[in-house]
Structure 1
Amino acid sequence: MPRLTIVVAATRNNGIGRNSQLPWRLSKEMAFFKKLTTTSPEGTINAVVMGRATWESIPKKFKPLPQRANIVISRNEQYELMSVDAGAPSTPVYLHSSIESAAARLVGPYSMERPLHRSFVIGGAHIYNATLALPPTSDTFVDRILLTRILSPAFEDCDVFFPDFLDDNGTDGNGRSWKRASFEELKEWAGFDVPEGIQEENGVQYEFQMWVR
């Protein structure tokens, strides 16, 4: 059964957004995100799970995110994912009204057009919180976070935040320990060369990290 992997870029203070947009523009980081979420064995597909606001933040020309099954969660069961003039999407797009129903699709053996390889949660804050709260008995328990840690500047004007997944004891609040994986473990899991150490782009310093529990 597929576990969930969260993918997020966050400041040291866990800021992830400002005025419904990303506070930074990092083309190399976005290229990493694309490669990470599209890389899968031949004949399989990855899924990206997101909330409605995250879906709406994607520019129209990039929707749905190509080469991935797009799963959008909205309480509005009549929400129109694609405009009537958009034509048939080039990749599968599914609307679900809850985390639970989306999870049922992810674990169902015949619920995708191709066998599912990995499932990535890509935002926003509500979806991050809800999936991190799934119990370890859940088939779609979050066991991995691919974190792009924005080191500087601080982006103190962020108004949306990723949940603080580590408490003072390095656990998730329920006694399960998070551990930062080594760079070699990150590269091996990703399946491609990942830039190592502190990266700098457009005056922003950041680092690719992987956390597991």
Structure 2
Amino acid sequence: MSRLTIIVAATLSNGIGQNGRLPWRLSKEMQYFARITSNAPEGSVNAVLMGRNTWESIPKKFKPLPKRANVVISSNKQYELLPADAPTPTAPVFLHSNLDSALDRLSHSERLGAHIHRAFVIGGASLYQETLSLSQSSGSFVDRVLLTRILEPAFEQCDVHMPDFLGDKVHAGQADAWTKASHAELQEWAGFEVPEGVQEENGVKYEFQMWIR
């Protein structure tokens, strides 16, 4: 069984992107993303699972994301992850044509060349939707969301939104309802000091949150 962790920055209305890019520039938030997705015990690595558009949005100099196993999903089985003349990548990168085969790889460390500590789903919207729809009784499912909640401004121009994973279930007392963890729990899980409370950067206010089920 693979437990999946979604990591995402989203507005109060769940906006996550505009014109294929992030509508905000938050260097400290990106540092948090890099650290938490890279932080793994010696002898193991984390995996980052993403769709093709998310892969393409990563600047060339950062591809593949270092110190992580990069797993990219594209329906195009012939999709070229890296140019033929690209230097040897510094981190492993794998192409899969669907989520099931990608999850199967994640459940077999020998096929990744390293023991996988944690698996993070990093986008985009359709992959968030697909992974959130996985049943808790299935082999793999999302049990944690690391949400950087963009509090203001509203960024109403966002044209891409993630699913409203909280919805009404948080208040309905259902077994699969999401619960907001305390900051201490987030920090313990992360394994390093995470800024607490409302942060402000470049005129944007946001908060690091962790939701679990």
Whether these two folds match at TM > 0.5 is yes
List per-residue Cα deviations over 1:33-69 (Å, max 9, x = no partner). Answer: 0000000000100000000000000011110000000
Aligned to 2:114: 114
User: What is the aligned partner in structure 1 of residue 69 from structure 2?
Assistant: 69
Q: Tell me, which stretches of 5 or more residues in structure 1 are unaligned?
A: none
1:85-100 to 2 correspondence within 5 Å?
Answer: 85-100=85-100
* Structure-to-structure mapping, 1:6-45, within 5 angstroms: 6-45=6-45
Equivalent position of 1:4 in the other structure: 4
- Once the two structures are superposed, the pairs formed by residues 98-177 of structure 1 within 5 Å of their partners are 98-170=98-170, 176-177=176-177
1:78 — aligned with what?
Answer: 78
Report what 2:194 is aligned to.
194
Cα root mean square deviation, aligned? 1.4
Residues 169 and 71 of structure 1: is their aligned pair in 2 closer, same or farther, counting only changes over 3 Å? closer
Distance 1:28 1:150 in 2: 13
More off after superposition, 49-58 vs 132-141: 132-141
Give the 3 Å change call, closer, same or farther, for CA 155–172 of structure 1 in structure 2.
Answer: farther
1:167: how far off?
A: 2.1
Q: Structure 1, residues 135-176: CA drift from partner, whole Å, max 9, x if none?
A: 112232100000000000000010000100112241699851
- TM-score, normalised on structure 2? 0.97
Equivalents in 2 of 1:134, 1:171: separation in Å?
A: 21
> In structure 2, how many angstroms separate the alpha carbons of the residues matched to 1:62 and 1:68?
12
* Counterpart Cα distance in 2 of 1:172 and 1:66: 41
TM-score scaled to structure 1, two decimals?
Answer: 0.97
Using the alignment, how far apart are the partners of 2:211 and 2:126 within structure 1?
20
Would the alpha carbon gap of residues 122 and 141 (structure 1) be closer, same or farther in structure 2, given more than 3 Å must change? same
Aligned length: 213
Partners in 2 of 1:32 and 1:172 — Cα distance?
Answer: 32
- Preserved CA contact (<8 Å) 1:6 1:121: yes
**Deviation beyond 4 Å, 4+ runs, structure 1:** 171-175
